A and B are shown apart, each in its own frame.
Chain A
């Protein structure tokens, strides 16, 4: 193919036109079978998503489950090996458990801290002080930057002779200790990634929580203050319950995102003894070792792990999250 742009453009246009024709066809067919106008239009309109769901989600999930029971090196067809991949993963693979540990600890520590930080930042930005627009804009900048660029920046700042160690050198001298080597020290990999994740406090979560804070009715807080409640009571008894759906949303999305941490670890070299983030591990096993069957088993394990963590957050939040208009039985 001489011109990759033209090559892609042709296919892009063809699939786009094809999709629109398929939608029209669906509408026509449904109408021909005497479906109501709104039924036909509805199904025709959601067709792209419905096809995507089947082709790019349902089928891949099931296929990846099948692959996880096979040995598959891309060149020869998948060969059924039963539970071997899972047995190897749980009992033989020495890199597996350290990776699980790193991934889970990272998520379990960084997400709650991150949500608390975002809540604090949002409360700060919710105050109507002069020039608040400027601050809100500034606080969103880290979220906009490419994760690759920020990962490289943090690796550079955490380098053994980088900015952080330079700034900390008086402390090192005071405590009479060697400078820390952060990402290169197997024991410090996890804390370094967690520190780095604090940067994500600013950004999307803050914006979402800020909007939720702004939606809390002022009268409610004022009434409580008149009744003699202190600011802390107002915050914990009124504000937090009122914004709890948003808190739940950012927590769950945060857990799903953190468990699949990918870009930053690929730009930051760490000792392999510290473990590899599981998403990266799946990528390495599948696309550099060409063990697609094994990689699928790890991917499935990771998915189940994410579902369990999400379910725990959900279950636990049940007692706390307040939805307006919901009746509670006590």
Chain B
């Protein structure tokens, strides 16, 4: 009896805390959506209006039209997809090299790779900018996409290598006996096997590029080339500077968050797997 009671209290407490945490997450998000559906005269009511009556759906259309957000969306997609594709291909090749081949200095190099995970990006920012400026590529999408061919993201390489290590060696040995070369082994045997890792890192890389703010801010100057995030910044700085148009800014924020949220709910498993492969099997 006593045991049962304490279990009951424990269960109740668990749900209570879970709900409390959920409220901390949901309430601000709800406020974001609610604000995005308010008329500008209804923003500062007291007590706060949780459900706008009537909801002003037009806000989304109006906000979208105030700046060329269609163009911004296209730019974001373009940058994200190119960078992600190059990252996936090169990080998987590099990880393949570290995981499957014996060569002198490999472990030292891999240790250096782990150290670069901790290298603060702030010191490389200015010289990198100068390289791209020297190559006359500032204010193009090149610095944000072409650089990814250099296996961006030591963490992705690390995660991918951990995954390669779990694949039994017999798979390749059989192929080598059959006369397959390294490219064939990578393409026909390894790629299908590491599909879960590719998906996990693909999702993380997509999110990273989509949400990236610092590099676009440094490299892109003309409005035509802005991704969504710079569009939002520009909106906040210009049209919405003196009297912040919170309803429009929240509408744009919601629109910017939706694709990522959609991707997260669709590919949740891979998101979480990606994080775990990197951190726990180390």
Contact = CB atoms under 8 A, between A and B. Distances in A.
Interface residues of B, number: 101
Interface of B: 11, 14-15, 17-18, 21-22, 24-26, 28-29, 31-32, 35, 44, 46-48, 78, 82, 86, 89-91, 93-94, 96-98, 101-104, 106, 109, 112-113, 116, 118-131, 133, 137, 140-142, 145-147, 149-152, 154, 157, 182, 207, 210-211, 213-214, 217-218, 224-225, 229, 232-233, 236, 244, 246, 249-250, 253-254, 256-257, 260-261, 264-265, 268, 271-272, 275-276, 279-280, 282
Contacts of A217: none
Given A49-B113, A144-B260, A303 B224 contact: no
B147 A56 contact: yes
21 contacts: A4-B224, A15-B146, A16-B89, A16-B149, A39-B102, A41-B182, A45-B96, A59-B127, A63-B127, A64-B127, A67-B127, A135-B22, A137-B268, A146-B211, A147-B211, A148-B211, A152-B249, A199-B24, A208-B279, A263-B213, A278-B122
Given A59-B127, A138-B22, A299-B123, A8 B29 contact: no
Contacts of A212: 279-280
Contact of A60 (B128, B211, B213): B128
Nearest to B94: A49
Contacts, number: 288
Contacts of B131: 55, 60
Interface in A1-59: 1, 4-5, 7-9, 11-12, 15-16, 19, 23, 27, 36, 38-39, 41-46, 48-53, 55-57, 59
Given A15-B146, A144-B207, A212-B280, A163 B31 contact: yes
A300 interface: yes
Contacts of A38: 101-103
A225 interface: no
A141 B124 contact: no
A142 interface: yes
A287 interface: yes
A56 B128 CA distance: 7
A260 interface: yes
A154 B249 CA distance: 12
A42 B106 contact: yes
Given A8-B141, A64-B126, 16 more contacts: A16-B149, A41-B182, A45-B96, A45-B182, A49-B151, A50-B109, A52-B152, A60-B127, A145-B257, A146-B256, A148-B253, A149-B254, A152-B232, A159-B244, A211-B275, A267-B233
Interface in A242-281: 245-246, 249-250, 252, 256, 259-260, 262-263, 266-267, 278-279
Nearest to B275: A207
B3 to A, nearest CB: 14
B120 A144 contact: no
Interface in A205-262: 207-208, 211-212, 215, 245-246, 249-250, 252, 256, 259-260, 262
Interface stretch (A80-88, A92-100, A121-129, A183-191): A121-129
A282 B236 contact: no
Interface residues of A, number: 104
Given A61-B124, A129-B15, A249-B282, A49 B157 contact: yes
A8 B236 contact: no
A48 B21 contact: no
Nearest to A160: B44
Contacts of A161: 44, 46
A171 interface: no
A27 B106 CA distance: 16
B146 A12 contact: yes
A169 interface: yes
A139 interface: yes
Contacts of A41: 97, 101, 182
B86 A12 contact: yes
A197 interface: no
Contact of A149 (B15, B22, B257, B276): B257
A246 to B, nearest CB: 6
B16 to A, nearest CB: 10
